[in-house]
Chains A and B, each alone.
Chain A
């Protein structure tokens, strides 16, 4: 038998249709199979008003089934046995006693008679409808049934050689039948259906194309044909095509003109406005390279072949674009007359976050930071600061107010119009990047400086006010910001000591807060002085201590006793900074996982000095991963761990640290002597390699120790009776440990 199901409703959102068709198929087929009803083939489809499913080759009746169920022990209390009988639906004389390793046990054999397909289908479909996983569902009228929009009818028929049979089924007053309806406007009447083939054919006659792929194919084909006939090309947009195919049952493609007065608008504006508001495809003139026409898709044929519909669409577009043009011209006029800094000034009225000041305050901080980062990334410091000052100016523009997704893109246009340096204009657009894991990373130095400053200021700002991401909650997109920092640094090989910048930026946020909280002038002064010293000392703590010492000497020190404001800052600031760096390291692990670098490899490298220089950290991690991927590398780790374990045990038992150098004159065994030689050779290579940051060479030299270490452990007993030999061997192990730990913290490597 063949099964046909159609769930006919008010318009289903385009974005949900494909998934819903698949869910319908899965839920129904899973349910049938579980109930013992197999099928040969299944297919599902969706239109704006219906979900349809067809199954071929169902048996008329599900096969009989026997189930064996193990019950209580023989001699168990009557109560237990009666409960079992009830559950299994058998009588006491039907039980069978069997011996098991745990003694005699009652067994029941339950006969499940096969059931008619219609009965099973009805049950499964009802459960499917009631539990359908719509992303969002609703109630309507007085009912309690939930569906994506009001559900109007259910078609459910089983067809065999004798013809179709309606499956008896009723859900909240909706009785299943064998009828549906055609196109809402072109063929609204009722249609009686006998089979899937009949259904598809009658729908088509009633101006409904059931298959979404067919609808999308028709739209794309017709759109290209119409554009091609004029020598134009349609701008591809797979997402838009799928969406538009979900908005129509009877697609009719219409090609329209963009009025001349709008063609000079930036193409991004045209495309965004047409796509977001009208769901139009952009059509390009390859000659001029501009977007000059559009394609819209109507849901019906008309007597005038779409002339009225197209005229209406053109009118709507003209209204939209005249809005856009108004914004564009106003913005351009202002950008040329006043420059972009006037827009930035206006952002002084816009709060970024009530604990982090206005957008302009934020821009000032980013500009100062961009100036400091500039030399590290090879950018001109003045240009970087200037770029940061205008990079977000377009947030004040009318176009971006209307189309927030055009932020940055408009900034670039306006910066160009204002006659700013091309590097500055580029930074306006590029400093937001990278937005996602696959977004391009800027490489122009000025853009990199502003992009890094923007993200670091955001991260430190929200860390300073304790608004870190928790679980799935990340309202300020801080994970994305951290990944942005990582990708900017790695893609450009930037050698940035993050600690220093994080500490300085955290301190700036703290100073701003201290000012707002009316901290004492001497306290603020001490923090300001510390800020000046951070670059010299690398981190906040060291700089702060130096400043306070000097102030004490000069007898100008603010209070620093326990519980004082400054004591609290001294205590919390380094933790905050460590915590943020650890967060960045965590994102780095996620980022490098795709590259095949294990998280424990990164841990091993994070535990080394200089871990705030991400470029260095990743170079080390890549080298370590590469070595671990070799036989020598993997075995060396085992050798290292063995050495480390023996040493750790001995050190604990003896209460000493074996850090005296071993002496080769106490070496007895040949392998022992060879290990001395190998360690000397490795050390000679590793030292210079580490200085020149050639981790591959250092790790290679380390991996060469594998043979000598293995041979040594094979031949030599460490914990020998002779205490001199034992001590010397333990010191030799300590040398292995010291040499290996110079390249990475191998104790962190798992396995």
Chain B
């Protein structure tokens, strides 16, 4: 199985490019990141919304993700408040999805004959999205390199057919493949490039700034207000009748409403990082975001892309 002719990648971006090529060859539409702050690649509407309804789907993309509580001022070798996920969503899940996935690991230079790959139970649940699925975290020599999930429900809707979702934590995976101990030392472009740039050259500054901002500066009063605004806006968008008075067309605005849901979710994460949300309140906030996600899912399945009338 080992493809010995394939050379080892030399940089972070080469690993991304190889994944893009691999999944493109396997027939996925290679999309671009969503242009909003999200906590994980799953939040991209190409996953959350497209996992709903009956229309077939196959997409792969990089998604910058933010987890304010994981900020470590750029000092921790493995933790970042801003990082990249690689996300693949295929609907219906093909029977050989595990083999396809393992092929992608080989494509980025992991030799199956020398490493210990394991599928360890990890039932995925996103309380904020009202979504859950069964699957695994995939371990390579004891390190979690991906999440592998068969979506069962999103936004409170049963997934029929079922989507298979793959999420790669790109920094962690790349550090392992490249043999790097500190994320900031990882070559971002080719080390032989005229101007070689490390991950740290690009992100050390921002990690420091955002860590301070996320933990101690983000104005919680404003954030609480923004949360309320996003929540109200999401509901207001969906309250509009489906018939657009200007064009006379049926236009359910699931995506604009979902943007507000994404916003509320990110603001909640920031508030969480500021340590101003208690364990019990957490549940209430998560419930409010979930209610938005559910409304957006309800709206999406009424659209053409969501399989209405199919």
Contacts and interface: CB of A to CB of B under 8 A. Distances in A.
Given A136-B123, A140-B93, A351 B150 contact: no
Contacts of A11: 119-121, 136
B276 interface: yes
Contacts of A724: none
Nearest to B1: A185
A313 interface: yes
Given A136-B123, A302-B114, A350-B278, A278 B142 contact: yes
B108 to A, nearest CB: 15
A259 to B, nearest CB: 12
A14 B121 contact: yes
A351 B136 contact: no
Given A149-B134, A313-B141, A139 B162 contact: yes
A421 B97 CA distance: 59
A159 to B, nearest CB: 29
A713 interface: no
A309 B119 contact: no
Interface string B270-303: 0000011111110010000000000000000000
B176 interface: yes
Nearest to A252: B116
B126 interface: no
Q: Which 5 A-B pairs have the closest CB atoms?
A: A312-B141, A351-B278, A13-B121, A11-B119, A313-B142
B79 to A, nearest CB: 7
Contact of B94 (A48, A138, A141, A326): A141
Contacts of A14: 120-121
B205 interface: no
A350 B113 contact: no
Contacts of B93: 140-141, 150
A429 to B, nearest CB: 21
A303 interface: yes
21 contacts: A11-B121, A14-B120, A139-B162, A140-B93, A141-B93, A141-B94, A150-B95, A247-B120, A279-B120, A302-B113, A303-B114, A308-B114, A309-B114, A309-B141, A309-B142, A316-B143, A319-B78, A322-B78, A323-B78, A349-B276, A353-B280
Given A152-B95, A322-B77, A326-B76, A138 B152 contact: yes
Interface in A88-104: none
Nearest to B282: A351
A652 interface: no
A351 B117 CA distance: 42
Q: Which of B93, B95, B117, B278 counts the most A-chain CB atoms under 10 A from its CB?
A: B278
Interface in A58-74: none
A593 interface: no
Contacts of B98: 10
A137 to B, nearest CB: 8
Given A150-B95, A309-B141, A140 B150 contact: yes
Nearest to B281: A351
B150 A312 contact: no
B239 to A, nearest CB: 28
Contacts of B1: 185
Given A141-B162, A322-B76, A350-B279, 19 more contacts: A139-B152, A140-B162, A141-B93, A142-B92, A142-B162, A148-B134, A149-B135, A302-B113, A309-B114, A313-B143, A318-B181, A323-B79, A346-B275, A351-B277, A351-B279, A353-B280, A354-B280, A358-B278, A359-B278
B119 A10 contact: yes
A11 B284 CA distance: 35
B161 interface: yes
A140 B276 CA distance: 40
A317 interface: yes
A185 B279 contact: no
Interface string B122-150: 01000000000111100011110000001
A304 B114 contact: yes
Contact of A138 (B117, B118, B162): B162
Interface in B252-284: 275-281, 284
A351 B114 contact: no
B112 interface: yes
Nearest to A49: B119
B76 A323 contact: yes
Contact of A316 (B118, B135, B141, B284): B141
B119 A351 contact: no
Contact of A308 (B134, B141, B181): B141
B225 interface: no
Contacts of A300: 116
Contacts of B116: 298-300, 302, 309, 312
A353 B280 CA distance: 6
Interface string B59-91: 000000000000010001111000000000000
A185 B150 contact: no
Contacts of A351: 277-281
B240 interface: no
A318 B152 CA distance: 36
Nearest to A148: B134
A175 interface: no
B115 interface: yes
A480 B160 CA distance: 41
Interface in B146-192: 150, 152, 160-162, 164, 176, 181
A354 B119 CA distance: 41
A221 interface: no
Nearest to A14: B121
Contacts of B78: 319, 322-323
A312 B94 CA distance: 31
A312 B115 contact: yes
A247 B136 CA distance: 12
Interface in B168-227: 176, 181
A612 to B, nearest CB: 30
Contacts of A577: none
B172 to A, nearest CB: 9
A142 B161 contact: yes
Nearest to B56: A142
Contact of B181 (A137, A315, A358): A315
A228 interface: no
Nearest to A312: B141
Interface in A1-53: 10-11, 13-15, 48
